[in-house]
Structure 1
């Protein structure tokens, strides 16, 4: 992945984190690893590797938050075809 693509994806994930925190009322809580890295999407002077580390840390926290939000509902997971074959 090129640096520009990493920056773009990092910015999208940061917006997703903001959406989780503000709109969905699903607090991501402390994102210790991401905050510890200290690389924001606007830090264009940082290396591609630094952005990728931040992106992976943020994606892990967001996926855990999304999974816990889904698990708290009473609705089974449904695939795109509408089948609940893979529901828990």
Structure 2
């Protein structure tokens, strides 16, 4: 993936986090993401920095969603 594409993905994930926080009235635990200090607008940062930020942000979003889920639905019909 090119750096420009990674920055675009980073920006999209940030928007997903914002939308999720607003719709669920909660905050995503993104401490690891904030510690990196890389934002989608940080175009001077390296591709590796953006990749780490994307993984940290995605992990924070999915962890929050997993914590919210109730009992999983059985894949088999009754």
TM-score of the aligned structures, taking structure 2 as reference length: 0.85
Q: How does 1:50-69 map to 2 (within 5 A)?
A: 50-69=49-68
Q: How does 1:8-87 map to 2 (within 5 A)?
A: 8-29=8-29, 31-71=30-70, 76-77=72-73, 84-85=74-75
Change (3 A) 1:62 1:18: same
Where structure 2 has 5 or more consecutive residues not aligned to the other structure, the ranges are none
How far off its partner does 1:26 sit? 3.1
Distance in structure 1 (CA, Å) of the matches to 2:54 and 2:32 = 10
Where structure 1 has 5 or more consecutive residues not aligned to the other structure, the ranges are 78-83
TM-score of the aligned structures, taking structure 1 as reference length: 0.76
How well do the aligned residues superpose, as a CA RMSD in angstroms? 1.7
Distance in structure 2 (CA, Å) of the matches to 1:70 and 1:4 = 34
Distance in structure 1 (CA, Å) of the matches to 2:57 and 2:34 = 9
Higher RCO structure (Cα 8 Å, ≥6 apart): 2
How far off its partner does 1:27 sit? 2.1
